[in-house]
Each structure stands twice: as structure tokens, then as C-alpha cells.
Structure 1
Amino acid sequence: MDLEAAEALAAGRHHDPFAVLGPHRAGAAGRLTAIDPGADRLEVRGASGAVFVLERIAGPVFSGPVSAAIGDRSESYVLHGTGADGAEWDHDDAFRFGPVLTDFDEYLLGEGAHHRLWEALGAHRMRHEGSDGTHFAVWAPNARRVSVVGDMNGWDGRRHPMRRRGATGVSEIFLPGVGEGAAYKYEILGRDGRVVQKADPVGFGAEHPTATASVVRDIRGYGWDDDGWMETRAARNSRDAPISVYEVHLGSWRRRHDEGGRPLSYREHAEELVGYARDMGFTHLELMPVSEFPFDGSWGYQPVGLYAPTIRFGPPHEFRDLVQAAHGAGLGVILDWVPGHFPTDAHGLGRFDGTALYEHADPREGFHRDWNTLIYNYGRREVANFLVANALYWLDEYHVDGLRVDAVASMLYRDYSRPEGDWVPNVHGGRENLEAIALMQRMNTLVYGEHDGILTVAEESTSYPAVSGPAHAGGLGFGYKWNMGWMNDTLDYIARAPEYRKYHHHQVTNTISWAFSENFVLPVSHDEVVHGKGSMLEKMPGDEWQKFANLRAYYGYMWSHPGKKLLFMGCEFGQPAEWNHDRELDWEAAALPRHSGVRDLVRDLNALYRATPALHVKDCEAEGFAWVDHGDADLSVLSFLRLGREGDAPVLVVCNFTPVPREGYRLGVPRGGHWREVLNTDAARYGGSGMGQPGGRNAVAAPSHGRDHTLEITLPPLAVVMFSPG
């Protein structure tokens, strides 16, 4: 054997290890080369019984002649090692196996068009050429050498260097005997000459943080039993459906205090969280990112393993148990998805193969100043494919019903949160990130095309046009967009003392001027109850009674305003303190009368919203809304009608944002007869004063507010009341 090649193998720097290692024909016989750092003597033992002793060539590299049958791989064999201390062991030779990836895989990978990327890359349990093991494949085009390291080889990168596949930059190897639960990384000799160990970008599992290795997980063979849900979810996710989302951080929703305060597992959430959300009348769960992440304090928004459900709550099949339980309870599951950036942790994607591979090399494009993270190079086809395939992966493998895309604004603009001179214009000299825009359009086109009935939601805080417009018409293609303007204006308004609200009346009326420019979701998310912002209850002005009354009125206004709804966990019962990801929600407070009153109100709002077509079927259409009176700023009262399709009963909504009751308040309505009070946030059962008209009111034939009939009502203090004819 060539000594230079042996020395390169021994040093872990051979550029083509499969050309040397393993069995090869050598004339009429064969030759076999192997690496075993622990061996003092290494033998080849063929299935026929023949034994061949290999010669040490350089360091742990052994080589020698073998039979022609072994050389041409028609006869199986094992390697038998003997240590200096007399210990003996047998192991199968990974270098006797051929490749797994097909030419078509190579073509799709090279084109950046492998929509099922996770079936080609990552770690896959399989039976290959008669042996059980795991196939590993990773994209690292600029690496000088890539090896699988783990417990199976003593974390020694010389043992299992991988086979390069053509010009794709993908390396692969099949390791016999490696099974479920094996920890591994890729050891990469980069172009820069440094050796690093990286987690698998397409790995399906990971060790418990703070450990950083990937873990082999077999994600095949889950017995889904949610056909009934999958057949009906298109109707449940549509623009005319009632969509009320409960946003959850799995690590802090509830904890097991009798077991050291650990969070609930996926399976425990499947029972407790799902049951609670169903009882509360929500239609969907939105889970803050479950993709594996190293730092608890990032809440999952700085993921390292985009293809791995975090092990914090259980392995992949148990996450599927949670999704299936939600579907069985009539709840959709939306995942927060983070394609906007990734952390700089050493085992992550940064300078993955010794170069800026997933990120831009120029920090003006590749480094996020706000979060100290790296920004994906969306213009690189393999990176775009990695992200788009990941979106498809969660929808396909885990049956999730939608993706809420985080931080879209930061993706759209090259100058996002950057001073002049610290950003790179696009090819036209503009600030728009054309590659990120193309990525989102492609992602939305593919996920809607391949998965019937799913939804995508953009967290987008700017006035970028047509976020929920179709991609073929120049929009981004999202199903919905968070209405950040509504959230900012209304929270600013409701936090003011009632006597000053008349000067800011426009903040709760102007929201209608853009309410139908997109398909909107009204979000009261985790971002509004952290970092010193206080809980929703803490935001409210006044004494304790007024705080609760303000909060109930705000929720009444939110559920009656056009747009789908999203509420962060704990807000539904008026969590006293702002959210802390290290603690569970304050369930003791939730049981107190005023808090349970808020929770009863949210439950009833969800029930009314779902049961009343006028409150949801035209959430995204201007025809679903009509002002009665938006000009009563002096009294801080606003009134409007929610309208459904022809034949649907309208709903009159009246909001009194002062603590002053109003007797004999007159409003124009579209029809006469009896109007029943269908909801009153001041009802005694919610902790209110009980003022209102539980028996309803009759509209009389007298013109008012441009309508032929007038309804005279009592307005409770700091309350929203709703009426419907009948």
C-alpha cells in the first residue's frame, strides 16, 4: 500500500478514503485496508473460515492481501482486533458497503430541489446490503474530510471518514450495527484547516441540553389515526372559519412539582394541555418552537436542530402523540418556525465546513446585530432547499396543521435594524431582500400545493404589501398575517387611564381602516408579557376591580373585532405577573374568583365566536363589518355591527371604555324586534357588577345612526356588550 496514502488516513486528512479503505480487487486476488486505533493486531475473518492477517502500515492503518471473493465483496467478513493487553473484539467493516444515495438524489440535491431532503440527508436506520445499521449523509461541500464520530467509534474522526458524492458536496456512509439512540456528530476538517465537530443539520434527534450531540432516531412507522381530522381541516383553517389560537410554551405551561419541577412531557401535554384547550373552546394550539435549541432562554427561537423535536419533552413519536391527541380533540396544531436566523453555537451551522456555508460571509448580510445570530444565505439554492424542505417536513412527518413564521420583517429588509452603511443593497440598489422574498413565496407555494388545508401565518410588523396575497400575483403567499398594528395601538389605548382615552379614541377605531388589507390574526402573544412589559393584567389601569374590568372589556373588544384570534397562555385567566419561562403559570391565582371569572369569559367568548357566523365568516372581508358610531370619543364608546352571509343574524357590539355606566344609550340597528344580550363582560359570573339587560331589549321604529330602528340599552362600566336579534 502507498505509504503516503496510509499516513494521510492515519492523520485523518485523506481526500477520498473509500478509494483506499475496505476491500478492493488487486489483480487476481484482493486487498483490504482498515483503520483500528485500538488494535495491536488486525485480522480479516471471512465467512468461508479463511483468516488473513493485515500488516500495520502507518499508525492505526492496517492493510494486506485477502481472497478475491472478499476483494470483490462477494464474501462477507468481520474484522478481528487484538489489543496490546490481549483484549479481543470483532466489528463489521463500514467500508465494505456501497453507497445508499441514488443518482436521482444527487441530481435533486445539486439542483436544490429535493423537497424531501430529510429522506436523503440525516441519519436513517435501515437494512443495507444484508446488514442492519444507520446511513449518515451530510452536505459539506468545502470540507477536506467529513467523518461520523460517536460512541460507536470512540469519537475518533479517523475511524469512519465518509464517501463524497460527486459535485453535490454531500458525503455519506453506512455504519452497520449503529441503532436507535446512538449519539453522533460530524467531524469536519474544514477548508480553513480546523477540525470541528458539528451536530447534524438534518438530524431527527438530539441529546438533552447542555449536551450537544445529535441522536439517531427512527421516525418511520408511526400509526397515525387522524384521518377524520385531516379530511376536515381545510374547512377549519379557512378564511371563513372561527380560528382562536392558544399560544403555548411547553416548558412552562405546567410543571411536576413532585418530580423536581420538571415540565410536562409531550404525552402529558397530550392529555392535560389538549384537554384544557378543548375545554376553553380554542380551535388551535400554537406551540412556540419545538425544533431543538441549545439555550432555554431563547424559548426555541434560536434553533440548532430544525429537523428534531426537542428532547426536553420526549422523543419524536411522543411529539406525534401530542399532535394526534390534539386532532382527536378537534384542535389544530400550529408550530412556530424560525427560518430567519440561527445561533453561533460551535456545534451549529456557523462556518459548518470551514466556510460561511449556511450564512453570508459578509457580516453586513450574515450577522444579526439584535440577536447576535447568523442569517441564512437565502440566495444559495442548497440553503433555500434546506429551509423549504424543513417546512414540508413538519407538515408531512408530524401532521402539523400550520406554520407561524417568526420575524418575517427581519427577513424582508436588508437594512432591518442596521444603521446607514452597515447593510448591502440588493442587485437593484434597494433595501428589500429579494432572495428571502423568493424563499417565502416558494415555501408557501409548495406547502399549500402539497398539503391540503394547512395554513401559514407571518409575524410581520411592517407595511410590506400583500403578505397574505398570492405568490403568483407578487404577494408572499401566506394564509394570514399577525396584525401588529392592531395590537400596538389597542394595548397602548387600554393601558391609559380612562379619563384620557377620549383623546386617543382613534387607536381603537382606526384599526378598521386596514383590518381587511390582509387576512389578519389579532395577536396577544408572549412578546407582550415579557421583558418588563408586565402581564396583561398589570397593563390595565385603576384599582383591582378596574384592572379586571378593563381586561375583560379588552378581550370582549378583541373577540368582536374582525380577525382571527391568538392569546398567549396565562392571559386567559389574567396571570398576575409577567411570564417567566423558568416557572409554570400561576395556576393557584387562576382558581381565585376574579381570575376564574376572566377565564370563564374567554371560554364563553370562544364559544360565542365559534357558534355565531357573523363573528367569524367575514373576519377578513370588509362586508363583515359596519360602524354604528365610531365618533363618540367624549364618552369613549364605540359601536359596530358584525355581519355574516345572507340569512346570518347580525351582532351589535358596544364598547364602553370608561368606568361610568350609561343609561338609555341609543343606537341605530338594521331591524326591529327583540335583541337579546348574547354576551356582557360585566356579568356577575365574570366578576363584574352585573349591570346590563339579561332579558334583552326591543328595537323601536325610530331612525338613528342612519338606520330605521333604534335600540336603547344600558352600558355597564368598563364593559363590552353584544346583542343579536331573536
Structure 2
Amino acid sequence: MMGIDETFAKRTGHPSGASGSADVAPVATRAPEAPAPETATLHPDTIAAIMAANHGDPFSVLGPHQVARGQWEVRAVLPEAKGATLHVGGKRIPFERKHPDGFFVARLPSEGRPLYELVVETWDGVERSRHDPYGFGSSLDQADIDNLREVGSNVTYRILGAQARNVDGIEGFRFAVWAPNARRVSVVGDFNTWDGRRHPMRLWQNGGVWELFIPGLKAGAHYKYEIRGADGSLLPLKADPVAFAAQKPPETASVLQGTNTPAWHDDKWMETRGAKDPRHVPISIYEVHLGSWARVAEEGNRYLTYQELGERLIPYVKEMGFTHIEMLPITEFPFDGSWGYQPVSLFAPTSRFGTPDDFAAFVDAAHAAGIGVMLDWVPGHFPLDAHGLGQFDGTHLYEHADPRQGFHQDWGTYIYNFGRTEVSSFLAANARFWLEHYHLDGLRVDAVASMLYLDYSRRQGEWIPNRYGGNENLDAIEFLRKTNEATYAHAPGTLTVAEESTSWPGVSHPTYTGGLGFGFKWNMGWMHDTLNFMSKETIHRRYHHHDLTFGLLYAFSENFILPLSHDEVVHGKGSLLGKMPGDRWQKFANLRAYYGFMWGHPGKKLLFMGCEFGQEKEWNHNQSLDWHLLDDGMHQGVKDLIRDLNHLYVGTPALHERDTEAGGFQWLVADDQDNSVIAWARKGREAGEVAVVVSNFTPVPRTGYRIGVPAAGFYREAINSDAESYGGSNVGNMGGVQAEAVESHGQPYSVALTIPPLATMIFVRQD
């Protein structure tokens, strides 16, 4: 049997090593400073401070302390105890109650620091044995704490939060939280009756991190932090900023999860995703709000679980030909109506749909089906909920104190203080966490414009200029650059995408050229202009033709994604189908023509759920999509068109290989505003890889319409949005046309086409 001193040496970091189980990380603990040879007995005021949870250094009081040569005291706070004994060396030594609320002291002879267990007799007569958290040394390292200031490091989620640990065969959880201005921090939970006296933490003065190992805790327990602020006031209980799981709202506690690696089966996917340049591969994204894609009406309109989404959503996305799923934010958030854009627990997948392991299994299933998974990520703001990050330690820790810098007027939320390195490091580590721990394939960064501009949505006098007098948020710019550098360095092959609505230069350019370092940028201008054109009555479209062509003036200035996102079908904007003019037939024809135009246009694609089958109502996050509409042939026709467009796009290099290169695009017809006809050629990397896109945005068919083409050959009519199978009038070209050696539109060859009404055709050249 191991002796007391030998066992203690292992707990306190002796080179003989700490042991651990296979599924819980072992840890070596830091040896505490050697006690003074003689320590005075506790003063009653010290005991009173401990019992009032008002003592800032609990390890100086609780646990084992040498009080005389060869004499030790063990002190414990046990409010639930009728009595207690100390179990050490096969003996039981009684505790003496020193405070009526449960402060106990036991004195014992020992030549070295004793190793012991507490045996507590509760008021109902039950005895329970447990290890004392204050008998363990620290398991943190000053170098790791220092690295909390390194933006781009993953140390935040390696050391903070509630980490499963094994100390000399004793399993439990090590809690660590950054709260530098707090007077006292305690772990509270359902394991200690939410009593802040039971588990106060130790403070690392150089770094502001509070830490405590609590032996015996199991995954699934609920916890928060009880914090006494800098001014001595007791704050509302706070969720763990680095919690890896959380309760299902409206409950707000964090949940013990640990960071055990999920059971992945996607090794091949992870090995190969970094081998391709995303700019040259097909990317067609299905944007999804997991809570309203489909619900179970017969069971109280409940959500689908992660498992059910894996069984239903993933096969649907695969069949429809999309390459990626992009989820609206699933980092735990309290208010359903925020759609996830006001998150509180950035490291926890929402429990609305299941456990963190269930979420990982969903991602694993997507990868098995060849589908990438992306997340809408929100580093731009956070909500004011009392259990969240706001005034976390009694000061404006994560947010700016001045509301001109730290408060979003539009959304009623706090703004992160990107100039505080610990905050930027926290956020950058969170980005890495989702890409590395959960194997996500990309992050779409929300509201980037609000981060870049100090005067975003503010009038004169409501914002503070930067040190040069400008409106650029220099700290946010630096944060975005470092985060993009870190994600691409540590998760190659993943995407970072900016939702950025201004003309900020170089959003998707490398940081070494002065860019922000994103992989892609949403083309908000294209979306706005083309939807404006499509909303016009067809007779008036000739006066808005520039809305179709203007985007090509800057189409290759960034790596663009063409977004038809959730933002276009909420807040009174109606559905995409509802934006289209004309009678019912024309509305569907317009929508199909627009989709064909979009899939033929340079840029990667993104479509919000429901738009693929012509959802008629505006999106409502509280209910399922209207899947019953697919019983109508017109809606089914739109869905079939999107499926065929995706498969053509993926299988045709000319339509995706050079999305971001001017050399992959050539105008054929840009100026026929009177007929609202537009045409261009798309080119692949190999000679002869050509696709021709032709759109007619009037209800008048055009016959014998000659269009120049760049090469000889047969041009197969691969897509005709007017096909009868899609709900159209079936006007077309009998499968394709042969190019003639007749010059037209500056091209050596041309084709004479029959162009259907309100339709887009895509022709693929064949030798």
C-alpha cells in the first residue's frame, strides 16, 4: 500500500508522475509553497469571513495546515454536516465544530502533510466519504495563464472552463475562470446546494484566473460561478464563459461535460479537406435554422434532435446537391427570437437538440455523406442577460465601459472590447475550437461591418474616434486578422466568410497584403441589386438593367459568395417567391429564372432553407417550413430545378473553377435592356471548357436570337428553367444547338437560340 508521503508527492507534481484513466486526462499538480514551521490558530474573524463567503484566499484557511512542529489542522466548511471525522492512516479523528454554520477543525499529529478523506454525517444520519478539494495543489501553469493573452492560441479552451481531470486515480473536474477584478469566486451547483461557502476558488494573482479541483464530480452536473465583485457586492450567478455544455433554455446553468474527444469516423474527410483550394471547387451552401427546418407536429411541435436532423436533413441536402450546410448560430443562446445571434455560452452547442456528443455525431454523419458543415459565428456582440458575460466580475471585463464603444444601439447588446488581449484571445480560441474540436468546415462571421466601423449606425457624438481620428476600429481589425491567420494555420481547408455589407477593401485578401484574411465575403451588393431588379414589373425592367450588370464591375475584387439568406425573408420582407411580380405562373417563372441566373453567375452560392421549393410565407422561426407545398407541382418544380442546378454546377468545371477570376468570365450580351436579355460565357481551366448562360427577364419568348460564343462545338442545353418538368411552358432548343462560324458579339462563332419567356438557360459546350 502506498504511503501517505509518497501519495502526496504524486498529487503535488513529483516526477514519479500523475496517473489517469484512458478517457479522463491525467494531470500533475503544482506543489504548494512549504508551510511555515509554526502557524497560529485561526482567528474567529477569519472563520467568520470564510463562513460569510467573504474571504479572498480560501486555501490559506481551508485544507491541511501545519500549526506546530509535528501538528497539523484540517479545516473544512461542511454546512450540511451534523458531525464529521477525518479518515487518515486507517484512523478516524473527530472534527470539532468551530462555527454553528458548519466550520470544522480536526487536529492530528503528523511528520508530513497528511493525506486524508472527509467522512461527513448528515442530519438524516447518513455517512458519506469524500476527498477534500483543499487537499490538492494547483494544476495550472503560469505559462499557460500568460498565454491567455496570446490571440490565436487555443489555451483558453485547454485550461479554462470545467475540465475533466484525474489526480492520482481520483477523478473530478478542475474549474478555472478569468475574473481578475473579483474579490472572491466560488463554484456553485447542484452538487453543493448552490452554496458559495462550499467551494471558493484560489486566485492566480498574475493573470486573474481562479481555480479549483473538485474531486468526485460527474459529467452532467449543473454549475455556475458565484462572484463577489470588485466593490464587494454579490453578482448574479454567472454561467461559465468556457462551458462546454449548458442547460436547455430557459434554464441557464452550465453543465459538466469535459473536453473528451468525440468518437469521430471522418479521418478521410479531415485528411483531404485541406488539399483543395476552396476558390476553385464548387461551394453551394444550404443555410439552415435547425429549430425550424422541420418540427414534429404530433409531439407538441417539438424540435428535431441532432440525431433526427442527421437522419433527415443530411440525406435531403445530399439529394439536393448542396456541398455545405450552414447553421444559424447554435452556440447556446437564451432567447429563441434571436435565432442564436445573441449567444451566451460560446463553447457549448445548444442543448435544444441534444448533447454535445449528439452534435458531434451530426457533423460526423454529414462528413460521411460528403457534406461540409459551417457555423454562423457571432464575435460582434453579446446579450445583456444577467448570467452572461456582461460585467462578469463586477467590472466591464469583456465589454467597453463607455456605451459609445461598448453598446450596440440597434440590437441592445454589448460590444466586445477587442483591445483587451484576453478578450480577443477568448474569441479567437473559440473560432479554433469549433473548427478543431467539432471538425466544422467553416465559420461565417456575422455583422463584420459593425465590428470594423466605430461609427456603425451612430450619429455624430455617439462614437469615439480611433487614435488617428478615424472611424476604423483598429482593435477589431487586428483581432479579425489574427483570428483568420490562426484558423487557416491550424485548420487548413476550412473557410472563414465575412458578412460585410460595405466597400471595405481587401476583406478576402491575405493579411500580408493588408487584407482582413477572410476566405470569402458575402456579396451583399449583388443580392440587393438583383432582388431590386427582380421585384420590378417586367415592363419596367429595361430601366433597371444596370442592376443585373453592375455587380460584374467588382465581381472579382473579392472572393465572393452570392447570398440569398434568411435576412431576405424576415422582418416584413416576405418570401423570395412573394417578391416576384406577375400572376402565379409568372411568379414561379421569375423565381426559376432568377435561380438559373444566380447559379450561372460568378461566385459561390448560398440559399436559405425553404427558398429551394418556393416557400410562400415569410420565414417564422417558431414553426416548420411548409413542406406540404411540395404536393403542388409548381413548388416541386422549383425544388427539382435547384437540385439540377446544384448537380450541374458541381459537375461542370466552367461553372465553378474560376469563380474568383476575371479570366473565367466573358460578356456575350450585356446591353440588350430593351428585351431584358443578358448572356455570358463561363470558362474552366482547360481549353474548351465553356458554359453559356442566357436569361430572358420578360414574358416574351425570343426566336432566332443570335448570340456569339467563344468556341466551335455543340452547346448542350443542360438547364432550361422553362422546362415543363419545372412548371414551365417547355419552350427551348430541342436539347441544344450547334455553333456556326458566324461572327457575333465579337466572337468567332455564334448560335441562334429560341429563348423561353422568363427563363434562364445554361448551355455546356461539347466537342
Q: Give the structure-2-normalised TM-score.
A: 0.92
2:193 is equivalent to residue 154 of structure 1: yes
Range moving further from structure 2, 415-424 or 643-652: 643-652
Q: Output the CA distance in 2 between the equivalents of 1:221 and 1:412.
A: 35
2:585 is equivalent to residue 579 of structure 1: no
Which residue of 1 is the match for residue 258 of structure 2? 218
Range moving further from structure 2, 545-554 or 85-94: 85-94
Q: Output the CA distance in 2 between the equivalents of 1:491 and 1:568.
A: 15
Which residue of 2 is the match for residue 72 of structure 1? 113
- Assess if the C-alpha contact under 8 Å between 1:618 and 1:624 holds in 2: yes
Aligned-pair CA distance for 1:113: 6.4
Q: Output the CA distance in 2 between the equivalents of 1:15 and 1:663.
A: 85
Q: For residues 705-716 of structure 1, what are the structure 2 equivalents within 5 Å?
A: 705-716=745-756
State the Cα RMSD in Å. Answer: 1.4
Q: Percent identity?
A: 55
Aligned-pair CA distance for 1:130: 3.2
Q: For residues 198-597 of structure 1, what are the structure 2 equivalents within 5 Å?
A: 198-235=238-275, 238-597=278-637
Structure 1 moving runs of 4+ over 3 Å = 85-91, 110-114
Picking from 79, 92, 101, the partner of 1:50 is: 92
Picking from 3, 10, 21, the partner of 2:62 is: 21
SS of the residue corresponding to residue 444 of structure 2 reads: strand
Aligned-pair CA distance for 1:152: 0.8
Aligned-pair CA distance for 1:142: 0.3
- Assess if the C-alpha contact under 8 Å between 1:236 and 1:243 holds in 2: no
SS of the residue corresponding to residue 44 of structure 1 reads: strand
Return the letter of the residue paired with 1:452.
P
Return the letter of the residue paired with 2:357.
H
Q: Output the CA distance in 2 between the equivalents of 1:17 and 1:430.
A: 48
Aligned-pair CA distance for 1:664: 1.0
SS of the residue corresponding to residue 50 of structure 1 reads: strand
Q: Output the CA distance in 2 between the equivalents of 1:725 and 1:569.
A: 32
Q: Output the CA distance in 1 between the equivalents of 2:631 and 2:530.
A: 28
- Assess if the C-alpha contact under 8 Å between 1:240 and 1:617 holds in 2: yes
Which residue of 1 is the match for residue 21 of structure 2? none
Which residue of 1 is the match for residue 29 of structure 2? none
> Using a 3 Å threshold, how does the CA distance of structure 1 residues 701 and 294 change in structure 2: closer, same or farther?
same
Picking from 48, 51, 67, the partner of 1:10 is: 51
Q: Output the CA distance in 1 between the equivalents of 2:176 and 2:375.
A: 26
Aligned-pair CA distance for 1:629: 1.3
SS of the residue corresponding to residue 153 of structure 1 reads: coil
Which residue of 1 is the match for residue 672 of structure 2? 632
Aligned-pair CA distance for 1:237: 5.7
> Using a 3 Å threshold, how does the CA distance of structure 1 residues 268 and 665 change in structure 2: closer, same or farther?
same
2:71 is equivalent to residue 35 of structure 1: no
2:165 is equivalent to residue 123 of structure 1: no
Deviation sequence 1:19-50 (CA, Å, 0-9, x none): 11011122211011111122343332324223
> Using a 3 Å threshold, how does the CA distance of structure 1 residues 285 and 112 change in structure 2: closer, same or farther?
closer
2:183 is equivalent to residue 144 of structure 1: yes
2:104 is equivalent to residue 62 of structure 1: yes
SS of the residue corresponding to residue 510 of structure 1 reads: helix
SS of the residue corresponding to residue 393 of structure 2 reads: coil
- Assess if the C-alpha contact under 8 Å between 2:737 and 2:751 holds in 1: yes
Range moving further from structure 2, 220-229 or 1-10: 220-229
Q: Output the CA distance in 2 between the equivalents of 1:166 and 1:194.
A: 20
SS of the residue corresponding to residue 280 of structure 2 reads: coil
Aligned-pair CA distance for 1:520: 0.1
Which residue of 1 is the match for residue 213 of structure 2? 174
Aligned-pair CA distance for 1:99: 1.1
Q: Output the CA distance in 2 between the equivalents of 1:109 and 1:704.
A: 64
Return the letter of the residue paired with 1:170.
V
SS of the residue corresponding to residue 245 of structure 1 reads: strand
- Assess if the C-alpha contact under 8 Å between 1:7 and 1:59 holds in 2: no
Structure 1, unaligned runs of 5 or more: none
Return the letter of the residue paired with 1:623.
G
- Assess if the C-alpha contact under 8 Å between 1:3 and 1:58 holds in 2: no
Which residue of 2 is the match for residue 185 of structure 1? 224
Deviation sequence 1:166-196 (CA, Å, 0-9, x none): 3110001011111110000000000132212
SS of the residue corresponding to residue 672 of structure 2 reads: coil
- Assess if the C-alpha contact under 8 Å between 1:44 and 1:54 holds in 2: no
Which residue of 1 is the match for residue 9 of structure 2? none
Q: For residues 641-660 of structure 1, what are the structure 2 equivalents within 5 Å?
A: 641-660=681-700
Deviation sequence 1:541-588 (CA, Å, 0-9, x none): 111000000000000000000000000000000011111101011110
Aligned-pair CA distance for 1:701: 1.8
Q: Output the CA distance in 2 between the equivalents of 1:113 and 1:102.
A: 19
Aligned-pair CA distance for 1:235: 4.7
> Using a 3 Å threshold, how does the CA distance of structure 1 residues 701 and 53 change in structure 2: closer, same or farther?
closer
Return the letter of the residue paired with 1:696.
G
Deviation sequence 1:450-491 (CA, Å, 0-9, x none): 112111100000000000000122100000000000000001
2:142 is equivalent to residue 103 of structure 1: yes
SS of the residue corresponding to residue 711 of structure 2 reads: coil
Aligned-pair CA distance for 1:223: 2.3
Q: Give the structure-1-normalised TM-score.
A: 0.98
Return the letter of the residue paired with 1:339.
P
Q: Output the CA distance in 2 between the equivalents of 1:475 and 1:673.
A: 42
Return the letter of the residue paired with 2:514.
G
Which residue of 1 is the match for residue 19 of structure 2? none
Deviation sequence 1:673-692 (CA, Å, 0-9, x none): 43221110000000000001
> Using a 3 Å threshold, how does the CA distance of structure 1 residues 266 and 82 change in structure 2: closer, same or farther?
closer
- Assess if the C-alpha contact under 8 Å between 1:25 and 1:68 holds in 2: no
Which residue of 2 is the match for residue 92 of structure 1? 131
Which residue of 1 is the match for residue 6 of structure 2? none
> Using a 3 Å threshold, how does the CA distance of structure 1 residues 535 and 656 change in structure 2: closer, same or farther?
same
- Assess if the C-alpha contact under 8 Å between 1:235 and 1:241 holds in 2: no
Q: Output the CA distance in 1 between the equivalents of 2:331 and 2:754.
A: 51
- Assess if the C-alpha contact under 8 Å between 1:110 and 1:167 holds in 2: no
Aligned-pair CA distance for 1:221: 3.6
SS of the residue corresponding to residue 630 of structure 1 reads: strand
Picking from 115, 129, 133, the partner of 2:172 is: 133
SS of the residue corresponding to residue 599 of structure 1 reads: helix
Picking from 637, 642, 646, the partner of 1:602 is: 642
Q: Output the CA distance in 1 between the equivalents of 2:88 and 2:151.
A: 42
Deviation sequence 1:602-656 (CA, Å, 0-9, x none): 0000011011111010000000111111000011111111111132421111110
Range moving further from structure 2, 138-147 or 52-61: 52-61
Count of residues in correspondence between the two structures = 723
Deviation sequence 1:282-333 (CA, Å, 0-9, x none): 0011011110000001010000000000001111111111111111111111
SS of the residue corresponding to residue 152 of structure 1 reads: coil
- Assess if the C-alpha contact under 8 Å between 1:121 and 1:202 holds in 2: yes
Aligned-pair CA distance for 1:492: 0.8
- Assess if the C-alpha contact under 8 Å between 2:117 and 2:129 holds in 1: no
Q: Output the CA distance in 2 between the equivalents of 1:148 and 1:112.
A: 27
Aligned-pair CA distance for 1:217: 0.9
